[in-house]
Each structure stands twice: as C-alpha cells, then as structure tokens.
C-alpha cells in the first residue's frame, strides 16, 4: 500500500481537489493524507489570535468570512443537490464548532486553539471524500484523531498509531481510498493537538511507517526538492535522488518543501519518499531513499531566525567540564542547539528558540564573557561529503569568499557543511553558492 500526501495548494480549490481525485484513482488501495485548503490554517491562527486578545466579534467576523469561501467550493465540487446539501452540512458543522468556541464565556486557552486549528483538515478531508463517494469511488474517511497520537514527550506514539491505524483499516476493509487528515493528532492526555505547522508531511511519514507502506509520496506545488531555495534563487533545478540523511538535513535547515521532522519515520522504516508535483504529475520529482549520488554536492538550504551566542572563558580547553556546564544551561531551558564551533578560549553556539534567551545569557555569564548576534541565518550545503572527497570543502568555502561568515561547521556528519551569516547576506550567499556549485 502507498501513502500519498497532498498539501494545501494541492487541495486549494474545487478544481484542484478534482485533480487530486484523478491522481489517486488507479485501482490500487491507498491512504491519502490531506492538508487544509491553502490559507485556511493561517486564517484559523488569526481567529485564535482574536480570541486570545478577547475580541470575539473580530473572531466571529473572521470565521464567517472564511466560511463564505467554502460554499462556492462545495457548489463547484459536488454535482447533485443531495451531495451539495451534504457538502454544506460538512462546512456548517465545522464552522459551528468555531462559532461556539468564539462565543463561549470560558477563558480561551491553547486547548481551544488546537481545536480551532484542527477544523481545516477535518473540512478538506470530508469534502474530498464526499466528492469521491459522489463519483462512485469506494472511499472512506480514516479519522486521524482515532489513531494519530503523541506521547508525553510530544513524540509520535508509534505503538499506539500502528495498532490503531491497522484496527481502523481492518474495520473498514474493502475500500480503495482511505482519506485521512494530516497535521492533527491527540496528545498524551487525549486532547486534540497537532504536529506543528506544515506537519501533514510528518503525518504521512508516520502513517507510512505504521502500515509499512511501499512508498510515501509527498505531492506539492513544485517538481521535487530543488538544489536551492526557488523563492530566492532563480534557475534552481530539481534533485533526482537524495539520501535520507541529505533530505533530513535540507528539511531541518529550511527547505520548506519538507517538514523538518518528516524524514525520520520513513528513514527508520526504510520506506522511500517521493516528492511529486500536482501541477505537473509527469515530472520525475525527487526520490529519497538509501541511495545517494556519490561525491556530489546536491543542494543548499537556509534556516532563518538564528541567534548566535559566544561564551569566551579564560582557557576553555584546559578547563575540563566547561562544555558540559554550558550545555546544561541550554538543557535546563529546553533550548536545542543547532550549530557549535569551538576554540581554545571559547565556544559559539546557535539557537532558533529565543523564548528563554535572557535566562540563558544570565546563566552563561558566570562562565565567561557572553556576546550575542541576532538575525542570523544558517546556510547548509548538503551532499556526499565524506572527508576523503578532497576539494569540496575548498569549493564551498570559495563560493562564499565575498561574504562575512560568522561560523563554519563540518564533520558532524558526512552530509553537510554549514555556515552562519547575517540575514542581510542570505540572498547573496545562496546565489553565490548556486553559481559556483551547480
Ligand atoms: P505544501 O502546502 O504542499 O505542504 P509547502 O508550501 O509547504 O507545500 O512546500 C512547497 C514549497 O516549498 C514550494 O512551493 C517552494 O516554494 C518551497 N521550497 C523551499 N525550498 C525548496 C526547495 N529546496 N525545493 C523545492 N521547494 C522548496
Ligand atoms: N494545514 C497545516 C498548516 O498549514 C498543516 C500542513 O499544511 O501541513 O500548517
Ligand atoms: Mg508543507
């Protein structure tokens, strides 16, 4: 069985939903993971913001405006009066949930917010399923809230997911298409929760691993992983093959086409992931697997919003235990470190979560002089970079010869070399890497 995931743009209109139907109907049984229609989750975030700011009228206006966008979709998607009626009921029921939260007198908390955010995927999946059923397809819904669960560390509870997705598939035996919601889940306390923005890719990978799929396909609006960020650099090209490790590095360091966490479940279960384009289904896309193009630099990505912290002590290398003390501070504040560089006198690290920055800086000051650089970007160059492949480091460094580089990191894996530059230099750095490497 294959697992196919379609992102927001791929289900962004009635026309696009019909295109998805064409792509998935080949007589083979499959699980189809859908995102909310594009723009919907952003609107749901806005609605929640109104409620956090105790502005229920603003929220109700935004809810009604979003709902109004759905009725023309129902009208265009479905044909018979009966199905149109069903479609309208699907939409109304979901938006009634939003209205009831907005008019509640209870305090608005993250629990209600998560219920609000879940309504986008619940709506899109119900509409696409209604369309397929109207077309005579043996399609049914596989409610993600009945099997997708995270544990007390907010990690997927794979045992629970495996057992319950199988149970659902057995109970609904004999369907061709099983439609399920990306992004949404239940947490350890059984509350409605989600896998973070963009998390439908993660849902697909988790489900693929749970059912031991033959392949996981991520269908989006571009023909695979490009060798640089197509939003910033012109003339980028799709990469045909990536190793799981390469794809994971690119996703983590900013290639938006894949959610950062999405590669791991597929990699652990050794299930190939194919990135494909709904707008150009014939394009080859990218195949992520255990194969890689040897001795080649594959792609570049950039991660924004990075803060660099330097701790300079007297003599770091002789002072054993220094690094442990520094890392313990980050651990205490549950802040993960992305990049590290060391010297005899100190250490530089980068973080992207600045929630506890002040506390961290105060705690670090007991070990030395602390300096901070904000608005930085990690540029990550990915490929088969075993250190025996002489020359690639020189090539990559040379590509950035005109740009001030704050940190360089290589050797953590055979698959990447990373640079820290100022946000102002991001575009030039990406362009220069494309020009010199590809
Ligand atoms: P979806 O809604 O289908 O999940 P996303 O918007 O999350 O789609 O991801 C697809 C987008 O990722 C593309 O439209 C593209 O602009 C962006 N992107 C960023 N970096 C890359 C890259 N290296 N290769 C391909 N797409 C990328
Ligand atoms: N709808 C969610 C979002 O916009 C999840 C996803 O699209 O992957 O973040
Ligand atoms: Mg996405």
The answer to whether position 259 is within a domain reads no
Predicted confidence (pLDDT) per residue in 203-220, tens digit: 999 999 999 999 999 999
CA of 104 to the centre of ligand 2 (A): 26
Determine the pLDDT at residue 196.
95
Q: What is the mean pLDDT of residues 397-423?
A: 95
77 within 8 A of 11, measured Cβ to Cβ: no
The answer to whether position 28 is within a domain reads yes
CA of 82 to the centre of ligand 3 (A): 34
Q: Cα(131)–Cα(306) distance, rounded to whole angstroms?
A: 44
Domain count across the chain: 2
Give the CATH number of the domain where residue 54 resides. Answer: 3.40.1160.10
**Residues 183, 307: one domain?**
no
Name the residue of 48, 113, 124, 183 to mutate for ligand 2: max ligand atoms within 8 A of Cβ: 183
**Residues 172, 29: one domain?**
yes
Comparing CA positions, the residue from 170, 163, 164 lying closest to residue 147 is 164
One DSSP character per residue, 90-132 reads HHHHHHHHHHHHHT--SPP-HHHHHHHHHHHHHHHHHHHHHHH
**Residues 16, 148: one domain?**
yes
Q: What is the mean pLDDT of residues 409-423?
A: 94
H helical segments located in 211-342: 244-252, 263-268, 322-332
Predicted confidence (pLDDT) per residue in 217-269, tens digit: 999 999 999 999 999 999 999 999 999 999 999 999 999 999 989 999 999 99
The pTM (predicted TM-score) of the whole model is 0.94
- Helix or strand holding residue 193 (H, E): strand 192-194
Nearest CA to ligand 2 atom 4: 41
Name the residue of 5, 6, 7, 8 to mutate for ligand 2: max ligand atoms within 8 A of Cβ: 8
**Residues 211, 329: one domain?**
no
CA of 118 to the centre of ligand 2 (A): 10
Give the CATH number of the domain where residue 379 resides. Answer: 3.30.2130.10
Q: Cα(274)–Cα(224) distance, rounded to whole angstroms?
A: 8
The answer to whether position 270 is within a domain reads no
Q: Cα(177)–Cα(97) distance, rounded to whole angstroms?
A: 27
Atom of ligand 1 nearest to the CA of 200: 4
Where do the DSSP E strands lie in 359-415? 369-383, 405-410
**Residues 303, 181: one domain?**
no
Residue 320: pLDDT band (50, 70, 90) is confident
Percentage of the chain modeled with pLDDT above 70: 99
| Domain-ending residue, one of 220, 254, 270 | 220
Q: Cα(109)–Cα(119) distance, rounded to whole angstroms?
A: 16
CA of 141 to the centre of ligand 3 (A): 22
Atom of ligand 2 nearest to the CA of 201: 8
| Domain-ending residue, one of 220, 236, 255 | 220
Residue 316 has pLDDT above 80, yes or no: no
Nearest CA to ligand 2 atom 8: 198
Ligand in closest contact with the CA of 220: 1
The answer to whether position 384 is within a domain reads yes
The answer to whether position 281 is within a domain reads no
The answer to whether position 289 is within a domain reads no
CA of 79 to the centre of ligand 3 (A): 30
**Residues 195, 310: one domain?**
no
Cα 138-142-145 angle, rounded to 5 deg: 165
309 within 8 A of 351, measured Cβ to Cβ: yes
| Domain-ending residue, one of 202, 220, 238 | 220
**Residues 74, 214: one domain?**
yes
Domain with 65, as residue range(s), is: 2-220
Atom of ligand 2 nearest to the CA of 8: 7
Determine the pLDDT at residue 318.
57
Q: Cα(193)–Cα(184) distance, rounded to whole angstroms?
A: 6
The answer to whether position 321 is within a domain reads yes
The answer to whether position 231 is within a domain reads no
CA of 6 to the centre of ligand 2 (A): 10
**Residues 205, 334: one domain?**
no
Determine the pLDDT at residue 278.
97
**Residues 100, 187: one domain?**
yes
């Amino acid at each position: 069985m294959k697992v196919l995931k379609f992102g927001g743009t791929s289900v962004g209109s009635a026309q696009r939903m019909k295109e998805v139907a064409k792509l998935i109907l080949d007589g083979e049984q499959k699980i189809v993971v859908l995102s909310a229609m594009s723009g919907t989750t952003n609107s749901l975030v806005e609605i929640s913001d109104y409620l956090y700011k105790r502005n229920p009228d603003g929220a109700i206006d935004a809810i009604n405006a979003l709902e109004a966008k759905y009725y023309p979709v129902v009208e265009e998607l479905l044909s018979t009066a009966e199905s149109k009626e069903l479609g309208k009921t699907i939409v109304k029921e979901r938006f009634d949930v939003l209205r009831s939260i907005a008019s509640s007198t209870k305090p608005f908390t993250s629990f209600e917010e998560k219920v609000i955010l879940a309504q986008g995927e619940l709506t899109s999946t119900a509409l696409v399923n209604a369309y397929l059923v109207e077309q005579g397809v043996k399609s049914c819904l596989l409610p993600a809230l009945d099997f997708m669960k995270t544990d007390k560390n907010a990690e997927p509870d794979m045992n629970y997911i495996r057992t319950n997705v199988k149970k659902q598939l057995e109970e609904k035996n004999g369907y061709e298409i099983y439609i399920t919601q990306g992004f949404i889940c239940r947490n350890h306390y059984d509350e409605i929760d989600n896998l973070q923005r963009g998390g439908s890719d993660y849902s697909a990978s988790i489900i693929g691993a749970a059912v031991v799929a033959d392949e996981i396909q991520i269908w989006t609006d571009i023909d695979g992983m490009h060798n640089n960020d197509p939003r910033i650099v012109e003339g980028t090209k799709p990469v045909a093959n990536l190793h799981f490790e390469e794809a994971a590095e690119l996703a983590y360091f900013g290639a938006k086409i894949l959610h950062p966490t999405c590669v791991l479940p597929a990699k652990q279960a050794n299930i190939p992931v194919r990135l494909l384009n709904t707008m150009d289904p014939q394009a080859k896309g990218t195949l992520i697997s255990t194969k890689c193009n040897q001795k080649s630099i594959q792609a570049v990505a950039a991660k924004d919003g990075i803060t660099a912290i330097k701790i300079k002590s007297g003599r770091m290398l002789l002072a054993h235990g220094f690094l442990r003390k520094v890392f313990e501070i980050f651990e205490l504040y549950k802040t993960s470190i992305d990049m590290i560089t060391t010297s005899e006198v100190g250490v530089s690290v980068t973080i992207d979560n600045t929630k506890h920055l002040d506390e961290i800086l105060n705690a670090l000051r007991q070990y030395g002089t602390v300096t901070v650089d904000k608005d930085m970007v990690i540029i990550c160059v990915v490929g088969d970079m075993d250190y025996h492949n002489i020359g690639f480091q020189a090539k990559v460094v040379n590509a950035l010869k005109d740009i001030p580089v704050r940190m360089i990191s290589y050797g953590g894996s055979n698959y990447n070399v990373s640079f820290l530059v100022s946000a102002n230099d991001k575009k030039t750095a990406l362009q220069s890497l494309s020009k010199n490497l590809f």
